[in-house]
């Protein structure tokens, strides 16, 4: 628990850095509150009015006593009663309005924040997701935003009102008797000191708590998605134990925050009462010495009691604020993460693909330069050409596709589309030139239609039917009573793996890309369907530029060019015939397939 130890040894520079950071967070939160500032201001105005009304009620009782009960006069009392009823009603409406407006403003401001965070996540590069578990990001989007929400609805904004009340009382006290006032204020440095120390403690506790809850969610989310595997390998007990550990950590972190909250709240309460005791004690002496009249002293005690009400309120909101700040820190950290692949300021549009794609001496690594995944890779893909990549598993085939669609940026060399470095192109334009069938076909929960069409309005009904027919999905879709509206479950779990691949294939086709990219697109599909699909695709998309990765070499023999990758390097490239003649790696791979016993059996 590094967060704790670091707070113990925090020096002044760090403390002021911390304050500066709080300031920055506040400024940034303001950006989200600003659009609703009128609503917030209204809330802040309503609150004192409502309080004033509730103060009016004792006054009305006072009037009744003085004007009616003492002189025993009945007439006119009805009017007072009516006035009293009016204050009750007015107070109801004011308070209700205040609560509702606060909710309205808060909810909207935080919706904006939530959407901003989500939108930012959409811009993050894919590598970010390899390091940050989904569950952690989910925590940001839900419970961190909710913790800010809680702060807003619990009336953090009214703190400003509390501060005004405080200032007013301070002025009154000073005017009444500055010496006594100073005695009273002697507790202020103590209060400040206490809240300062506790701010650090409470904030540290909440920081740990936020980390733990994110961890808890990440573990839960992973366990839920992998429950099938957990059960297959009879790992229920172990995974329960692991979850229990994280859960316990989270609870213990919460215990710590509860402790500091409770101590702070109790101390502030105590200081209030002790200050009053101090005034009584000191004031008595003052009175004896004649510096203060006793009347002033009585008034003082009463004012000081009032003085501590807002302070107590503040201390109660303190924990909520600290929790919210800890969440805000995390949210802004995420919003600030620069792991985005962004368009260059002068990025060029790319309306179509005209000529050729070129990899020029590309070097790439996912981690560091000791672990190159691609080394000095060069090749070209001409318009209308069909290019296949093959090589052993882990050779870097999928990686090349990731680079082409700029999921990752390369370390050395250049990738050019029509002679322009892809880093100078508009990312969206670039990606829309390609349609990719990824190795693990990902489907969204929703209808089959949505999964194939993806972006509303871009794929019409005819295209949809055509694409599904080409990949032989029509048979399946006919079986469903709802046809294209058949609901697909999360990740497509209610389809067979082959069917899933065919859906992603249809998706790629329906978008009529300039370049079709197939990464093991039919690996889980039977050979018959595969052959039919292949033939149909060829018929549909003549002269389609395409990039194909396949382990079943039989499926790529007919392409124009085969690039053989070996340990991240281009070992050889050329047509099927050329490579066979070369007698290198490819020839050996093919030979292996030709020793296929079933094939021999058939030949015999």
CB 434, min distance to another protein, A: 7
Nearest residue (CB) to ligand ATP, 209 versus 443: 443
563, 388 contact by CB (below 8 A): yes
Distance CA 484, CA 465 (A): 9
Q: Is 543 in the site for ligand ATP (CB under 6 A)?
A: no
- 118 lies in the site for another protein, by CB under 8 A: yes
Residue 553 contact among Mg ion, another protein, ligand ATP, none, beta carbon within 5 to 8 Å by kind: another protein
| CA distances, 367 to each of 378, 382, 523 (Å) | 21, 31, 28
Note whether 227 binds ligand ATP by CB under 6 A. no
411 binds ligand ATP (CB under 6 A): no
- Beta-ladder partners of 425: 348
Q: Which residue has the tokens 């989007």?
A: 141
> b/e string for 15-29 if b means 16 or more Cβ within 10 A?
eeeeeeebeebeeeb
Interface with ligand ATP (CB under 6 A), residue from 495, 515, 521, 523:
495
Which residues lie below 8 Å from residue 319, measured CB to CB, with a gap of 6+?
202, 257, 260, 261, 264, 265
Alpha helical stretches, state H, 388-496: 397-404, 427-432, 448-453, 461-470, 474-479
Least Å distance between CB 7 and another protein? 20
In the complex, the smallest distance separating the C-beta of residue 354 from another protein, rounded to whole angstroms, is 20
Question: Does the protein bind ligand ATP through residue 326 (CB under 6 A)?
Answer: no
If the CB atoms of residues 490 and 578 are measured against another protein, the closer one turns out to be 490
Contact between 316 and another protein by CB under 8 A: the answer reads no
Q: What 3 state SS string does 493-513 have?
A: CCCCHHHHHHHHHHHHHHCCC
- Give the angle subtended at the CA of 209 by the CAs of 208 and 213, to the nearest 5°: 120
The DSSP line for 4-65 is: HHHHHT--HHHHHHHHHHHHHHHHHHHHHHGGGHHHHHHHHHHHHHHHHHHHHHHHHHHHHI
- Single residue of 421, 461, 490, 578 touching another protein by CB under 8 A: 490
Which residue among 51, 195, 380, 398 contacts ligand ATP (CB under 6 A)?
398
Smallest distance, another protein to C-beta of residue 461, A:
19
Does position 434 interact with another protein (CB under 8 A)? The reply is yes
Q: Which is nearer to another protein, 104 or 200 (CB)?
A: 104
What are the structure tokens assigned to 37, written together?
A: 């500032």
Among the residue ranges 33-41, 189-197, 410-418, 429-437, the one whose residues contact another protein (CB under 8 A): 429-437
CB of 92 to another protein, least distance (A): 5
d(CA 399, CA 380): 16
Closest CA to 146 of 348, 328, 344: 328
- Compute the least distance from the CB of residue 493 to Mg ion, in Å: 12
444 contributes a contact to another protein by CB under 8 A = yes
424 forms part of the interface with another protein (CB under 8 A): no
Segment contacting ligand ATP by CB under 6 A, of 395-403, 409-417, 452-460, 569-577: 395-403
523 touches another protein by CB under 8 A: yes
List of residues contacting ligand ATP (CB under 6 A): 130, 366-367, 373, 393-399, 439, 493-499, 524
């Amino acid at each position: 628990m590094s967060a704790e130890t670091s707070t113990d040894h925090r020096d002044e520079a760090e403390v002021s850095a911390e304050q500066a950071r709080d300031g920055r967070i506040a400024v940034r939160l303001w950006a989200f509150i600003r659009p609703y500032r009128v609503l917030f201001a209204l809330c802040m105005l309503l609150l004192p009015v409502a309080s004033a009304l509730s103060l009016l009620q004792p006054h009305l009782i006072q009037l009744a006593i003085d004007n009616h009960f003492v002189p025993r006069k009945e007439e006119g009392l009805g009017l007072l009663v009516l006035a009293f009823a009016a204050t009750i009603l007015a107070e109801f409406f004011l308070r209700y309005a205040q609560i509702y407006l606060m909710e309205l403003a808060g909810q909207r401001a935080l919706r904006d924040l939530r959407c901003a965070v989500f939108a930012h996540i959409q811009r993050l590069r894919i590598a970010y997701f390899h390091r940050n578990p989904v569950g952690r990001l989910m925590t940001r989007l839900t419970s961190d935003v909710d913790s800010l929400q809680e702060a807003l609805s619990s009336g953090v904004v009214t703190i400003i009102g509390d501060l005004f009340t405080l200032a007013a009382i301070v002025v009154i006290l000073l005017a009444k008797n500055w010496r006594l006032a100073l005695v009273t204020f002697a507790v202020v440095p103590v209060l400040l000191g206490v809240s300062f120390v506790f701010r650090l403690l409470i904030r540290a506790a909440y920081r740990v708590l936020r980390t733990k809850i994110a961890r808890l969610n990440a573990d839960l989310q992973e366990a839920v998605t992998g429950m099938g595997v957990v059960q297959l390998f009879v790992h229920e007990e172990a995974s329960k134990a692991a979850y229990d550990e994280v859960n316990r950590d989270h609870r213990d972190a919460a215990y710590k925050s509860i402790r500091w909250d409770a101590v702070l709240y109790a101390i502030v309460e105590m200081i209030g009462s002790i200050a009053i005791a101090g005034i009584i004690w000191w004031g008595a002496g003052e009175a004896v010495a004649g510096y203060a009249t006793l009347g002033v002293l009585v008034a003082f005690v009463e004012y000081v009691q009032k003085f501590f009400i807002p302070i107590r309120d503040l201390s109660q909101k303190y924990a909520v604020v600290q929790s919210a700040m800890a969440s805000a820190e995390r949210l802004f950290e995420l919003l600030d993460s620069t792991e985005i692949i962004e368009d260059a300021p002068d990025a060029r549009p790319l309306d179509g693909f005209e000529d050729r794609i070129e990899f020029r001496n590309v070097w790439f690594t996912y981690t560091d330069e000791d672990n190159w995944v691609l080394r000095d890779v060069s090749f070209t893909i001409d318009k209308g050409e069909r290019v296949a990549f093959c090589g052993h598993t882990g050779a870097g085939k999928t990686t090349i596709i990731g680079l082409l669609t700029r999921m990752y940026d390369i370390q050395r060399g250049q990738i050019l589309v029509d002679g322009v470095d892809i880093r100078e192109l508009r990312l969206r334009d670039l990606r829309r030139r390609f349609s990719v069938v990824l190795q693990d076909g990902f489907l969204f929960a929703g209808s089959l239609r949505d999964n194939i069409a993806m972006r509303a309005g871009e794929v019409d009904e005819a295209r949809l039917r055509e694409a599904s027919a080409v990949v032989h999905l029509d048979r399946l879709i006919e079986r469903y009573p709802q046809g294209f509206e058949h609901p697909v479950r999360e990740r497509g779990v209610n389809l067979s793996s082959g069917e899933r691949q065919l859906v992603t294939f249809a998706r790629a086709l329906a978008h009529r890309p300039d370049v079709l990219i197939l990464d093991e697109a039919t690996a889980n599909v039977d050979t018959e369907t595969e052959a039919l699909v292949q033939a149909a695709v060829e018929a549909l998309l003549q002269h389609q530029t395409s990039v194909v990765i396949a382990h079943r070499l039989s499926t790529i023999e007919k392409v124009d060019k085969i690039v053989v990758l070996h340990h991240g390097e281009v070992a050889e490239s050329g047509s099927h015939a050329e490579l066979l003649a070369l007698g290198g790696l490819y020839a050996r791979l093919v030979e292996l397939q030709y020793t296929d016993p079933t094939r021999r059996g058939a030949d015999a």
